[in-house]
């Protein structure tokens, strides 16, 4: 709390991003964990909550007649523009947030104070929900070819790897240690995914320290061992996910890539995925496009192209597709690496696994996939997502890209995934929120040292508890597409990759489809389930009554069934929405500013009610268009499905237009 | 003329048909007066049945004695026929060319087509202007039907019956017609029951350079305003274009002469600019060689989505004037037969729940496009593959359908129809066995005696068996105005039209099926539960009766 210079500023304006006409007047609060804006409008009192850890940049702009503008950009792509009347207050808020958004110790992060009111046992069970040992067992391991190795016990060989690793049976400790010395950060080749149908594996590592000519017998033996572990194929692919030029440049630094001359029976392949710096800049450029105020179609498409973002997404997908084909069609094992083997390698291995194995397309399986390929194998969450104050050059949207790849697949295979878009969006949100301990730190070792599991809660348990919100109603667990590999065309079908406005413009509800097919179908399915139950009950009673009548025993059965609600039509009445600014710059319509309530809002923010409020609801943004929220279509009586961006957000525009 | 003269080789064996996503088929190619048919020899079932009028362009190539004809269709499909024998190939190619470009309408297939289905409801009488007017007349007495154009003498592109302000007599209408482009005097397009405001449409006023005015015109449109109210005139052209039009005798309403009206200029493109946009877009969609970036820039360069955005924005603006500002509007561009109709019809989609039903949408097409005199014959003569630059082709109607699709995508539960209805209308506007889209206006259709000689598209569509294909399972009546987003992030390429032949829709079809199953199963259970509940209630009252005495 010592970093908060001013806990409360009144008469702050929250500017609407889409139409500049409307700005909500309210009070801004700074707490130890959140920035909170509460609107004055007495009927709504809309609250916008932003976690400090979500704050990406804070920009203080030149003071104008109306006040001092403060722009807060969030890592979950929310953009908040505030106008603070006094320059001094703005400065205080700015300075406070600069510090609050860049914690220096893990202990400052929200997960250490977040308390979802679960007891110890529940917390421990939560952490046990996803179990990687179980996952390796599910893959059919250990078997005749692969065994669990204890070589990395106490992180002795590689401190960014987990302790539980699968390696070929023929790879001795000597080979492993030798190989690890020939690999960047000692990240030697280990198993990532095992395709038990044909004994083919996807392995991962970092780049070899080959320089221009160096060799390492043990490393060569390691690759041989991997090849021999899949007896059906006489070669393995070595996929270097970097552009060839980058890999070659690395040779000068004593690193590099495998030479087909030195390693027998490998087929070497470059797949040009750009590095984290290119990706960071690309996202930056794309977000600038998303931020444009009423862009033309050309501005938008040109900017999207110029950002290169979809080209990068496609490169990652192409790599994943290549590997999935090698495994399922050619029956050849693949060793994947990039430089350190924790960014592009994680992306590519997980995309390939997702294509190959329907298990990863289920809710739990997807959690397992992230736990395995990202968390356990030392993807540097802290550095990449800037949880603690650090080198800004380490920050890069690596897992965001993977999450987008999944969304692109969901668009192309609508029945293949058990989960829906909201699931992906919430995972993305929590990678940055630091509300749960799962994504803290840079490696398993660090997490163990911090005793994360004893001190924080697991996101997976939270998501699993609310799994009803995350189901894809179209998911089919029987037919062709969930069985085995998803087949994507290798030919360049560029038009398959689309801009994901549900993610990058997700706080601008006005830009999203106004009715959600997913929510509608979920409501129908829920009702169907109730109907099934009722049908059964009715049949039972009918049978009973018939029997009773047959026996002429006159027992009066009570009419207890309430009359059913008629379908889902009630909530449709709320399909109110307001037009956007269609008139452009023309002054044909006088702007109608909402009558601002001047009453002071007296909100008491105790730490207690802070904690009790569902943090998932904290991400409200002010929106242009108050369209009906179809998540309210739950047949059980209009109760809102909790979702982090629907929530209590009632639109006031309608009223403004009507009273005007 | 006999078709036989044009068909030099009616039949060739061992022709191989290539289509994307299908294995090649070898079979016998037959040419008839209106169709190109390929049937595989194995089981003698037709593999391909293509209307000549659907053919937009053909290319031919030779490798030795093997000829190849590439057929590019108006629905953007591209198929390839390998024909053994150079002479056969040349004959087939020249026959196709001749048969696909017949210049006499009466030789077109609709005049020969005999339906195989029983006509339950004759579509030619499904949407009579009198019936449409009845929907309004219950709400207002300020409007009347006028038969002034009975002989098509006042306005050749208007239908015989139009709706005009009650206060204006036919004599005044005749005078106004001389002051409006193509005789298209202002008529009622839509009456907003919620507040009594209206959308009118017309051609541009013929003010010319010396600012000609017409008292009757001013009186007519003022007659639509309530006391003390102002209205908006939406000119679909930018101001400079409207100004330039004066040199050719056209122009726009001077504020001095129409003081109660405020003019708004928008810029919806017309004619060849739209046609070129379509050609570029289809080219980009068919070119699979370029990389991701190239795709986006070609999509951008086509400007297609820019046109969609402009059209939708103007329609939203019109709807906003009506619903939010409580003001009546008059819409026109130059002729009032293209962009004007896009705007009036889309505004109705936004405002009027009825136009989002199947029947209501058909009525809208009939009223705002066919009877309103959109020159379908000219606009849809050629499609995206046509090389000869003719002046009149323009995908105006396709842009309208695409705009409807964009709204449908944003409000997937608010339309009674699905994407298939829009795709079907696109196909039939360009090539059809039905007479509905023949001719450029009602006058031409009358002369062609289409009602007597051809079948209406609506007769076919409105059969229950066909309707089910076009019904949106997610539909729930939504009586509110629906405001779409026109931001570029919200506009998407209509894959169902433009990538239809370039991507497999297998998984999307599966998803649609699954959706239908979920909803059907729900309805089935609902019905069962209702039956049981009734049975139970009956049994229980019987029970009660037995008990009471």
Q: Which of B309, B320, B510 sits opposite A415 (nearest CB)?
A: B510
Question: Across the interface, do A545 and B319 touch by the CB < 8 Å criterion?
Answer: no
Question: Across the interface, do B297 and A549 touch by the CB < 8 Å criterion?
Answer: no
Question: Across the interface, do B292 and A579 touch by the CB < 8 Å criterion?
Answer: no
Q: Which residues of B touch A481 (CB under 8 A)?
A: 507, 510
Provide the pLDDT for residue B387: 75
Residue ranges of chain B with pLDDT lower than 50?
Answer: 549
Q: Is A295 on the interface with B (CB under 8 A)?
A: yes
pLDDT bucket at A641, cuts 50 / 70 / 90? very low
Alpha carbons B418 and A519: distance in angstroms, whole number: 18
User: Can you give the CATH number for the domain in which A76 is found?
Assistant: 2.30.29.30
A194 in any annotated domain: yes
Buried b (16+ CB within 10 A) or exposed e, A67-89: bbbbebbbbbbbbbbbbbebeeb
Q: Convert the pLDDT of each residue in A202-261 to its tens digit.
A: 999 999 999 998 999 999 999 999 999 999 899 999 999 999 999 999 999 999 999 999
Question: Across the interface, do A535 and B414 touch by the CB < 8 Å criterion?
Answer: no
Helix axes B396-410, B339-351, angle to 10 degrees: 20
Alpha carbons A373 and A383: distance in angstroms, whole number: 17
Q: Are residues A352 and A372 in the same domain?
A: no
Q: Are residues A52 and A167 in the same domain?
A: no
Q: Are residues A277 and A191 in the same domain?
A: yes
Q: Count the domains in chain A.
A: 3
Question: Across the interface, do A577 and B478 touch by the CB < 8 Å criterion?
Answer: no
Provide the pLDDT for residue B208: 94
Q: Is A623 on the interface with B (CB under 8 A)?
A: no
Q: Is B534 on the interface with A (CB under 8 A)?
A: no
Q: Is B527 on the interface with A (CB under 8 A)?
A: no
Question: Across the interface, do A577 and B482 touch by the CB < 8 Å criterion?
Answer: yes
Question: Across the interface, do A517 and B474 touch by the CB < 8 Å criterion?
Answer: yes
Q: Convert the pLDDT of each residue in A276-310 to its tens digit.
A: 999 999 999 999 999 988 899 999 999 999 999 99
Closest approach of chain B CAs to the CA of A345, in angstroms?
A: 22
Q: Which positions ≥6 away from A274 have C-beta within 8 Å? A: A243, A282, A312, A315
Q: Are residues A339 and A371 in the same domain?
A: no
The answer as to CATH 2.30.29.30 being correct for domain B4-102 is: yes
Binding-site residues of A for substrate, in ranges, read 275-276, 338-344
pLDDT bucket at A545, cuts 50 / 70 / 90? confident
* Domain end call among A486, A504, A523: A486
Q: Which positions ≥6 away from A342 have C-beta within 8 Å? A: A160, A187, A206, A377, A378, A379, A380
Question: Across the interface, do B510 and A476 touch by the CB < 8 Å criterion?
Answer: yes
Q: Which positions ≥6 away from A273 have C-beta within 8 Å? A: A241, A242, A243, A312, A315, A316, A319, A338, A344, A347, A348
Q: Which residues of B touch A474 (CB under 8 A)?
A: 511, 514-515, 518
Question: Across the interface, do A492 and B493 touch by the CB < 8 Å criterion?
Answer: no
Q: Are residues A269 and A168 in the same domain?
A: yes
**Which of residues A589 and A240 earns the better pLDDT score?**
A240
Q: Are residues A167 and A72 in the same domain?
A: no
* Domain end call among A486, A519, A551: A486
Provide the pLDDT for residue A577: 59
What's the mean pLDDT when you consider all of chain A?
83
Residue appearing with tokens 């293949």:
A416
Q: Is A131 on the interface with B (CB under 8 A)?
A: no
A619 in any annotated domain: no
Q: Mean pLDDT, to the nearest integer, of A583-588?
A: 50
Provide the pLDDT for residue A45: 86
Q: Which residues of A touch B411 (CB under 8 A)?
A: 513-515
Q: Are residues A350 and A370 in the same domain?
A: no
Specify the range with the lowest mean pLDDT, choosing from A574-583, A589-598, B328-337. A589-598
Q: Is A296 on the interface with B (CB under 8 A)?
A: yes
Provide the pLDDT for residue A226: 96
Q: Which residues of A touch B299 (CB under 8 A)?
A: 301
Question: Across the interface, do B522 and A416 touch by the CB < 8 Å criterion?
Answer: no
Q: What percent of chain A clears pLDDT 70, i.e. is strictly above it?
A: 81
Q: Which of B306, B317, B499 sits opposite A296 (nearest CB)?
A: B306
Closest CA in chain B for residue A509: B485
Provide the pLDDT for residue A634: 31
**Which of residues B234 and A563 earns the better pLDDT score?**
B234
3-state secondary structure of B294: helix
Q: Active-site positions of A?
A: 338
Closest approach of chain B CAs to the CA of A232, in angstroms?
A: 31
H and E: helices and strands count for chain B: 20, 14
Alpha carbons B451 and B455: distance in angstroms, whole number: 7
Provide the pLDDT for residue A555: 42
Q: Are residues A323 and A430 in the same domain?
A: no
Q: Is A655 on the interface with B (CB under 8 A)?
A: no
- Cα A477-A482-A488 angle, rounded to 5 deg: 155
Q: Are residues A86 and A215 in the same domain?
A: no
Q: Are residues A73 and A33 in the same domain?
A: yes
**Which of residues A622 and A293 earns the better pLDDT score?**
A293
Q: Is A137 on the interface with B (CB under 8 A)?
A: no
Expressed in percent and rounded to 5, the helix, strand and coil fractions of chain A are: 45, 15, 45
Q: Which of A300, A535, A548 sits opposite B525 (nearest CB)?
A: A535
The two structure tokens encoding residue A137: 């067992």
Alpha carbons A17 and A624: distance in angstroms, whole number: 8
Q: Is B390 on the interface with A (CB under 8 A)?
A: no
Provide the pLDDT for residue A644: 38
Provide the pLDDT for residue A484: 65
What domain range is A67 assigned to? 8-102
Interface test with B, best of A296, A300, A479, A624 (most B CBs within 10 A): A300
Provide the pLDDT for residue A552: 59
Provide the pLDDT for residue B481: 95
Q: Are residues A47 and A95 in the same domain?
A: yes
Closest approach of chain B CAs to the CA of A322, in angstroms?
A: 17
pLDDT bucket at A12, cuts 50 / 70 / 90? very high
Closest CA in chain B for residue A573: B478
Q: Which residues of B touch A286 (CB under 8 A)?
A: none
Q: Where are the domains of chain B?
A: 4-102, 129-503, 509-548
The two structure tokens encoding residue A557: 């059965």
pLDDT bucket at A565, cuts 50 / 70 / 90? very low
A171 in any annotated domain: yes
Q: Are residues A162 and A234 in the same domain?
A: yes
Chain A to chain B, count of Cβ pairs less than 8 Å apart? Answer: 225
* Domain end call among A356, A390, A421: A356
**Is the distance from CB of B403 to CB of B305 less than 8 angstroms?**
no
Q: Comparing C-alpha atoms, which of B388, B386, B387, B366 is closest to residue B376?
A: B366
Q: Is B548 on the interface with A (CB under 8 A)?
A: no
Which residues make beta-bridge pairs with A551? Answer: none
Q: Which of A531, A538, A569 sits opposite B526 (nearest CB)?
A: A531
């Amino acid at each position: 709390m010592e970093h908060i210079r001013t806990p409360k500023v009144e008469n702050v304006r929250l500017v609407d991003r889409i139409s500049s006409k409307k700005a909500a007047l309210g009070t801004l609060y700074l707490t130890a964990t959140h920035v909170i804006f509460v609107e004055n409008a007495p009927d709504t009192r809309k609250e916008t909550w932003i976690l400090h850890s979500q704050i990406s940049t804070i920009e203080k702009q030149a003071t104008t007649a109306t006040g001092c503008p403060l722009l807060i950009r969030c890592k979950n792509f929310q953009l908040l523009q505030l106008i603070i009347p006094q320059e001094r207050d703005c400065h205080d808020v700015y300075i406070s947030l600069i510090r609050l958004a860049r914690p220096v110790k893990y202990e400052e992060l929200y997960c250490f104070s977040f308390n979802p009111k679960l007891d110890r046992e529940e917390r421990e069970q939560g952490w046990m929900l996803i179990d990687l040992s179980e996952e390796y067992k599910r893959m059919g391991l250990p078997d005749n070819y692969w065994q669990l190795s204890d070589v990395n016990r106490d992180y002795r060989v590689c401190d960014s790897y987990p302790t539980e690793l699968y390696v070929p049976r023929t790879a001795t400790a000597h080979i492993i240690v030798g190989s690890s010395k020939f690999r960047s950060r000692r990240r030697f080749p280990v198993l990532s995914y095992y395709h038990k149908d044909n004994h083919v594996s996807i392995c991962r590592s970092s780049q070899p320290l080959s320089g221009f000519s160096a060799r390492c017998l043990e490393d060569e033996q390691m690759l041989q061992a991997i090849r021999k572990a899949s007896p059906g194929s006489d070669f393995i692919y070595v996929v270097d996910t970097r552009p060839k030029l980058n890999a070659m440049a690395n040779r000068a630094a004593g690193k590099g890539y495998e030479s087909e001359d030195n390693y027998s029976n490998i087929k070497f392949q470059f797949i040009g995925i750009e590095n984290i710096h290119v990706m960071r800049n690309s996202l930056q450029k794309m977000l600038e496009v998303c931020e444009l105020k009423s862009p033309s179609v050309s501005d938008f498409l040109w900017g999207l192209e110029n950002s290169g973002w979809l080209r990068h997404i496609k490169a990652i997908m192409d790599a994943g597709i290549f590997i999935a084909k090698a495994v399922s069609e050619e029956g050849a094992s693949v060793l994947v690496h990039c430089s350190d083997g924790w960014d592009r390698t994680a992306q590519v291995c997980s995309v390939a696994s997702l294509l190959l194995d329907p298990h990863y397309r289920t809710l739990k399986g997807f959690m397992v996939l992230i736990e395995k390929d990202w968390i356990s194998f030392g993807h540097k969450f802290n550095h990449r997502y800037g949880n603690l104050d650090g080198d800004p050059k380490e920050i890069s949207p690596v897992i965001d890209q993977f999450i987008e790849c999944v969304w692109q697949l969901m668009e192309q295979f609508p029945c293949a995934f058990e989960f829906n878009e909201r699931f992906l969006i919430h995972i993305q949100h929590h990678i940055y929120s630091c509300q749960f301990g799962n994504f803290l730190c840079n490696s398993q070792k660090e997490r163990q040292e911090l005793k994360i599991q004893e001190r924080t809660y697991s996101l997976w348990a939270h998501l699993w508890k609310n799994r009803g919100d995350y189901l894809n109603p179209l998911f089919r667990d029987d037919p062709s597409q969930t069985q085995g590999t998803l087949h994507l065309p290798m030919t360049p079908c560029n038009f398959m990759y689309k801009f994901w406005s549900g993610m990058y413009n997700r706080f601008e509800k006005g830009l999203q489809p106004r009715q959600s097919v997913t929510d509608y179908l979920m409501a129908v399915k829920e009702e169907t389930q109730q109907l099934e139950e009722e049908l059964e009950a009715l049949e039972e009673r009918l049978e009973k009554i018939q029997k009773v009548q047959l026996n002429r025993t006159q027992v009066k059965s009570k009419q207890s069934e309430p009359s059913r609600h008629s379908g889902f039509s009630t909530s449709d009445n709320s399909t109110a929405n307001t037009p956007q600014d269609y008139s452009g710059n023309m002054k044909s319509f006088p702007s109608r500013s909402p009558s601002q309530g001047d009453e002071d809002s007296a909100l008491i923010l105790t730490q207690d009610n802070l904690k009790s409020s569902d943090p998932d609801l904290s991400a409200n943004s002010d929106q242009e268009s108050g369209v009906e929220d179809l998540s309210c279509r739950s047949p059980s009586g209009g109760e809102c499905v909790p979702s982090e961006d629907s929530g209590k957000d009632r639109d006031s525009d309608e009223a403004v237009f009507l009273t005007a | 003329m006999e078709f036989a003269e044009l068909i030099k080789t009616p039949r060739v064996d061992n022709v191989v048909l290539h289509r994307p996503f299908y294995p090649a088929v070898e079979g016998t190619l037959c040419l008839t007066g209106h169709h190109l048919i390929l049937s595989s020899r194995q089981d003698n079932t037709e593999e391909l049945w293509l209307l000549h009028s659907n053919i937009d362009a053909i290319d031919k190539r030779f490798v030795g004695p093997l000829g190849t004809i590439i057929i590019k269709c108006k629905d953007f499909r591209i198929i390839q026929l390998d024909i053994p024998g150079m002479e056969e190939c040349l004959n087939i190619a020249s026959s196709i060319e001749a048969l696909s470009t017949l210049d006499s309408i009466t030789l077109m297939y609709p005049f020969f087509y005999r339906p195989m289905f029983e006509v339950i409801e004759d579509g030619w009488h499904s949407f009579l202007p009198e019936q449409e007017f009845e929907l309004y007349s219950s709400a207002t007495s300020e409007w009347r039907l006028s038969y002034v154009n009975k002989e098509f003498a006042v306005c050749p592109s208007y239908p015989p019956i139009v709706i005009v302000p009650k206060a204006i007599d036919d004599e005044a209408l005749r005078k106004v017609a001389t002051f409006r482009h193509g005789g298209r005097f202002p008529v009622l397009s839509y009456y907003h029951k919620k507040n009594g405001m209206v959308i009118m449409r017309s051609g541009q006023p013929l003010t010319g350079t010396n600012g000609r005015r017409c008292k009757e015109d001013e009186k007519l449109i003022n007659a639509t305003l309530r006391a003390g109210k102002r209205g908006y005139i939406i000119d679909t052209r930018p101001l400079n274009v409207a100004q330039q039009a004066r040199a050719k005798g056209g122009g726009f309403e001077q504020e001095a002469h129409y003081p109660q009206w405020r003019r708004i200029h928008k810029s919806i493109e017309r004619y060849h600019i739209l046609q070129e946009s379509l050609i570029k877009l289809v080219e980009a969609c068919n070119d699979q060689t370029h990389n991701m970036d190239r795709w986006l820039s070609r999509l951008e360069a086509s400007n297609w989505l820019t046109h969609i955005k402009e059209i939708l924005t103007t329609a939203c603006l019109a709807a906003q004037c009506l619903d939010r500002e409580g003001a009546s509007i008059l819409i026109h561009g130059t002729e009032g037969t293209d962009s004007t109709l896009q705007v009036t019809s889309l505004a109705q989609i936004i405002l009027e729940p009825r136009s989002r039903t199947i029947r209501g949408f058909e009525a809208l097409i009939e009223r705002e496009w066919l009877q309103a005199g959109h020159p379908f014959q000219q606009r849809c003569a050629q499609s995206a593959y046509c090389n000869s630059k003719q002046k009149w082709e323009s995908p105006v109607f396709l842009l309208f359908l695409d705009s409807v699709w964009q709204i449908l995508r944003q409000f997937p539960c608010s339309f009674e129809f699905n994407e298939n209805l829009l795709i079907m209308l696109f196909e039939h506007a360009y090539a059809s066995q039905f007479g509905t889209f023949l001719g450029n206006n009602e006058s031409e259709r009358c002369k062609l005696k289409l009602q007597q000689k051809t079948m209406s598209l609506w007769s076919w569509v409105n059969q229950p068996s066909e309707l089910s294909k076009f019904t949106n399972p997610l539909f729930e009546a939504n009586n509110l105005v629906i405001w779409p987003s026109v931001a570029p992030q919200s506009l998407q390429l209509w894959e169902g039209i433009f990538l239809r032949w370039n991507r497999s829709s297998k998984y999307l079809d599966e998803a649609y099926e699954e959706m239908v199953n979920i909803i059907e199963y729900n309805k089935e259970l609902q019905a069962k539960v209702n039956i049981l509940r009734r049975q139970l209630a009956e049994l229980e009252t019987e029970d009660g009766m037995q008990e009471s005495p």
